[in-house]
Amino acid sequence: MKRSITQQSLFYIIICIATVISIYPIFLMILSSFKSNIDVLQKPFSLPSSFSLENYKTLLDELPFFHYIVNSVVVSVVSVLLILLFSSLAAFYIARYNFKWNNGLFFIFLMGMMIPIKLGIVPLFMLMKNLHLTNTLWSLILMYTAIGIPLSMLILTGFFRTMPKELEEAARIDGCTDIGILKNVLLPLMRPALGTVMIINFIQIWNDFFFPLIFIQEETKKTLPVGMLSLFGEYSTNWSTLFAGLTLSSIPMLVLFLFASKQFMDGLAAGALK
Amino acid sequence: MNSTTNMNTKSIKRKGGWKRYLIHLFPLPALAVYLLFIVYPLFSAFVYSLFDWDGLTRGAFIGIKNFIDLFTLEPFNHMFWNAFGHNWIYFVVEMVVQNGLAFLLAYIIYSKIKGTGFFKAAIFMPRLLSVIVVGFLWKLILNPNFGVLNKFLNLIGLEQWAKPWLGDTHTALISIILINCWFGIGFAMLIFLAGLQSIPSEVLEAARLEGAKGLKLISKIILPMMKQSITIITVFTFTQAFEAFELVYAMQGSEGGPAYSTDTLAVYFYRLAFGSANESEIGLGSALAVVLFIIIAGLSALFLRLMRRNDVEA
């Protein structure tokens, strides 16, 4: 595509401005977390005069930030694993076998994608209360698993349907059970699809704020996003600590992204296009 | 050879009985969790809307009285339409700013300038943050006295523009919406990029040979061929605009302040359901949930059908 120099330069300028606007706030957040409070308030544009970890110390010492981190990790990891496990089993069942209820089953799962589940929050809260799951991580794990299943089912079923049947037949002739087929033959081949499911769900779950807000009141059981609320409630004047809290919550995602940016972006786009 | 075949036939025959039914256990965990935590609560929410509520205790069946109250009693009626209008503003501004810019950026990246990997990643980066982090981060940036934005404006001599962005009823809503655009533009850009890349090059070549250039090329050839991505983004933006909660809650609290100028239907719903002090109105909240559901699911489905009908005709 031949473009004039002016057109190319214009494109560059636009995209550079967009890049700066996108990155600068994040850059500011990280940088400010290493400054003293005075510096943050009076010299916001300057680099830190000395890189101090003071703010992070405050976070971990005076706030249950360690708990927040652990809770977020546990909830995210367990939820993603359950989503993968449950969706794989169900998708395999639907894609590979032709029971007459399979189409209906698939449709029921798909409908979940169109449902704004937040609207059911009142019955959900009562349900969790009745199950004695409020203030436990399980309320979150079960919730996220349920939410993550529809899209994962869509992706995985599509994937299973494209797998060649000969592989399965060969394994069956060798005496493999159904579970054996799933485990030894299909699972290794499923890695890209599983990866997509994993990334989409992990981002959504780690960053979610709504369900921990409703289900969890106890400080030590909160996840990072809700912990932000407590942080901003208590430390509203100590900006450097606030920036440290924001940075600490975001670092895992940002670091993961730096290592796997292509997979992140391709995964999310693929999921949405389905 | 014979012995193995016999062995296999035997094992297949033995596979009758209970082991054969094991496979039917496969979809059960997914189905159980899904039915219990998604389907059941949603139906319950609809049922709840037909009852009278006193705090968390359910009272008598009152049919559609909650719906009537929602639209006839003050302040409920006023709050609904106030929030409803804001949701529409949300949608329109996001379509124009977020999606318009996203298309432009996708087009620029599509034209293969150097460094696309870096630009893609950089513009996508805000999407990785939790919405609550975005809300609080920008709250600090927009702080009238210490925030970076106003300090920057003062530095370059535009002091009259340094406003209390979130404290002024005229600027609060648009500020929040623009921040949401900042957050979401990377995702929209990726979808549009995928759409652009799916256009077969022969079509572009043919069009170019016929002399189509620049804006004409975009409007006559490229946009129509991107219908799928445009539809996806539009439905997605619409859904987001009408479910908007986290960002408003993080930046302005459950009252959608200042003076309800940033209130959205979802925030209003939260207020009714979990209200401040003793003002929780679960009956009205459930009615609002039903209305919201009809709006979101209904208009999305309608829009999707419209798009599909256009495809069939074309």
Rounded to whole angstroms, how far apart are CA atoms A46 and A61? 27
pLDDT band, residue B197 (cuts 50/70/90): confident
* Residue A247, in any domain of the structure: no
| pLDDT higher than threshold 80 for residue B64 | yes
Residue A221: give its domain's CATH number. Answer: 1.10.3720.10
* Residue type at position A16: C
**Encoded tokens for B82:** 């106030």
* A3, A17, A22, best to mutate vs chain B, most B CBs in 10 Å: A22
**Encoded tokens for A203:** 């981002």
Q: Are residues A17 and A98 in the same domain?
A: no
Higher pLDDT, A145 or A265: A145
Q: In this predicted model, what pLDDT tens digit does every residue of B225-256 receive, in sequence order?
A: 888 888 889 988 998 999 999 899 988 888 87
pLDDT of A190: 77
A116–B293 C-beta distance less than 8 A: yes
Q: Which domain holds residue A23?
A: 5-42
* Mean pLDDT of the region B63-81: 87
Sketch out chain B's domains with CATH numbers: 85-259 (1.10.3720.10)
Q: In this predicted model, what pLDDT tens digit does every residue of A51-70 receive, in sequence order?
A: 788 888 888 887 788 889 99
Give the torsion through C-alpha atoms of B290, B293, B295, B297, to 10 deg.
-150
- Judged by average pLDDT, the poorest of A201-205, A217-221, B135-139, B271-275 is B271-275
* Residue A20, in any domain of the structure: yes
Q: Are residues A68 and A33 in the same domain?
A: no
Rounded to whole angstroms, how far apart are CA atoms A270 and A253? 19
pLDDT of A161: 81
* Residue A173, in any domain of the structure: yes
A14–B27 C-beta distance less than 8 A: no
Query: Could you tell me the pTM of the whole model?
Result: 0.85
Which residue is it, tokens 């049947």?
A: A165
Q: Are residues A103 and A230 in the same domain?
A: yes
Contact present, B126 and B190 (Cβ < 8 Å): no
| pLDDT higher than threshold 90 for residue B122 | yes
B30–A86 C-beta distance less than 8 A: yes
A119–B8 C-beta distance less than 8 A: no
Q: Are residues A71 and A204 in the same domain?
A: yes
Which of A234, A250, A267 is the last residue before a domain boundary? A234
**Encoded tokens for B170:** 């005229």
* Residue A240, in any domain of the structure: no
Q: Are residues A28 and A156 in the same domain?
A: no
Instruction: State the DSSP H helix or E strand holding residue A200, giving kind and residue range, or none if neither.
Output: helix A191-207
Q: Are residues A140 and A207 in the same domain?
A: yes
Q: Are residues A133 and A24 in the same domain?
A: no
Which residue is it, tokens 């409703």?
A: A214
Which residue is it, tokens 């404006």?
A: B153
* Residue A70, in any domain of the structure: yes
| pLDDT higher than threshold 90 for residue A273 | no
Q: Are residues A23 and A143 in the same domain?
A: no
pLDDT band, residue B160 (cuts 50/70/90): confident
- Count of structural domains, chain A: 2
Q: How far is A149 from chain B (nearest CA, A)?
A: 7
Q: Which of A28, A85, A232 sits opposite B148 (nearest CB)?
A: A28
Asked if the C-beta of B84 comes within 8 angstroms of chain A's C-beta atoms, the answer is no
Rounded to whole angstroms, how far apart are CA atoms A132 and B20? 37
| pLDDT higher than threshold 90 for residue A24 | yes
* Mean pLDDT of the region B34-48: 91
* Residue A260, in any domain of the structure: no
How many helices (H) does chain A have, and how many strands (E)? Answer: 14, 0
* Residue A174, in any domain of the structure: yes
pLDDT band, residue B11 (cuts 50/70/90): very low
Q: Are residues A37 and A70 in the same domain?
A: no
* Residue type at position A66: F
Q: Are residues A86 and A206 in the same domain?
A: yes
Q: How are beta strands B57-61 and B51-54 bridged, if at all?
A: antiparallel
For residue B58, list its beta bridge partners. B53
CB atoms under 10 Å from CB of B137, counted, come to 25
| pLDDT higher than threshold 80 for residue A203 | yes
Q: Which of B27, B119, B122 sits opposite A105 (nearest CB)?
A: B27
Which residue is it, tokens 């290592």?
A: A259
* Residue A56, in any domain of the structure: no
Q: Tell me, what's the ipTM?
A: 0.85
pLDDT of B136: 92
Backbone angles phi, psi at A222, to 5 degrees: -75, 160
Q: Are residues A94 and A34 in the same domain?
A: no
Nearest to B290 by CA among B70, B21, B109: B70
Q: Are residues A114 and A167 in the same domain?
A: yes
